[in-house]
Amino acid sequence: MEIRIDRSELLRSVSKVQSIIEKKSNMPVLSTILFTADGSTVRISATDLELGFQETINAQVIEEGSITLSGRKIFEILKETKSPEFHIKEKENNWIFLSDGVARFNLASISPEEFPAFMEPEGVAMIAIEGDTLVNMINKTIYAVTIEEAGFKLSGVLTERVVVDEKNLLRMVATDGHRLSLIDKSFANIESLELSEGVMIPKKGMSELNKMAADGGIIEIGFKEKNCVAKKDNAFLMMRLLETNFPDYNAVMLKNEKEPVDIGKAVFLEAMRKMLILSNERYRAVKITLENNVMDLVSTNPDLGEAQENIEIKYNGERVEAGFNPKYFIDTLQSMQSETIHLDFTDSSKPFVLTGEADEGFVGLIMPMRV
């Protein structure tokens, strides 16, 4: 194989797969990128066996063929050169010559025959989603995915089709057992998706999908045979779905009977950040007290001291006092666009629920903890 290719275009494509390629693996080929030159294009492929990404870019193909290159090394080389064109040529015994016209590199490679094959499933029903909308849905759920190794059932985002007020909606839900985030959005032709029982998209897959959607534009997405497939322009992403059952979350979604308290997002977020300053692994709770038109926040750490702040609100009901992890409020508030937050609650044993008019379809739920 031999090609000449636009360096900036190649760098852009190679940078997309840096979080997919395996840094440490008992299969060295998983740390490589597969280059396949054919006609006037080069197809760039990367996989960790759970995720697969391909993108086709234009190139001057001098000789067709396939090679593998260390994903990390080709990325570092491309970053350090400023030449507009890059030359890649296959030599004997799996050695690859690379040059930007000034510097020259000879890299050892692995036979492309060892690269795991992954193909796009045929006959996948796809729907078109605006990239900005998809990013919004992912950002409002991914932060709540568990990071604990023992929490396999919760290590992804539940994606399902639901009917609310006779409307078919795409719903994403994530929880780590201490908080839950949920968002519903309406899309055309959503009935065609194979989502009757819901699927679990792994957190890493959601992160890659988020990157694909970050530049805006239309993304096509579909589900088939335990895989999620996404397409945008000349790029294709395939994610293996998690084979686990997401817990029934409807029990904690009960509507609170009290009138919600309205509070400015900026004030609330700033106060929670202050409460987080004194927290550590042992002491990471903020006590929230609602009484006489005041929200009182107190964070206590016996090793460091105490932080306190009062926020004026409209609330004349019974005294409510509950403890929470301030980081959970910060994560939820940072994902929201509303300037005014509606805070729903019942008593100290029930979760606090955050919603906002500018965050249509979104619910952020935070469970109380002992103080």
Buried b (16+ CB within 10 A) or exposed e, 65-94: ebbbbbbeebbebbeebeeeebbbbbeeee
Question: Cβ atoms within 10 A of the Cβ of 323, count?
Answer: 16
- Predicted local confidence at residue 332, as pLDDT: 98
DSSP 234-293: TEEEEEEPB-SPPP--GGG-PPPSSPPEEEEHHHHHHHHHHHHTT--SS---EEEEEETT
3-class DSSP state of 175: strand
- Predicted local confidence at residue 371, as pLDDT: 64
CA gap 209, 219 in Å, rounded: 9
Q: Give 37's strand partners.
A: 42, 65
Report CA-CA distances (Å) from 166 to 162, 163, 169, 253, 301.
9, 6, 9, 19, 50
- Predicted local confidence at residue 348, as pLDDT: 84
320-324 and 286-291 as β-strands: parallel, antiparallel, unpaired?
antiparallel
Backbone angles phi, psi at 101, to 5 degrees: 95, -15
- Predicted local confidence at residue 106, as pLDDT: 96
* Nearest alpha-carbon partner for 48 in 66, 28, 67: 28
Q: Is 229 exposed, middle or buried (0-12, 13-18, 19+ CB in 10 A)?
A: buried
* Nearest alpha-carbon partner for 182 in 169, 193, 191, 166: 169
Q: Which residue stretches of the chain have pLDDT < 70?
A: 149-153, 254-257, 371
CA terminus-to-terminus distance, the chain: 65
CA gap 158, 170 in Å, rounded: 10
Could you tell me the domains of the chain?
2-114 (3.10.150.10), 126-248 (3.10.150.10), 254-366 (3.10.150.10)
CA gap 323, 127 in Å, rounded: 42
* Nearest alpha-carbon partner for 236 in 57, 2, 28, 37: 57
Tokens 């950040």 label which residue? 273
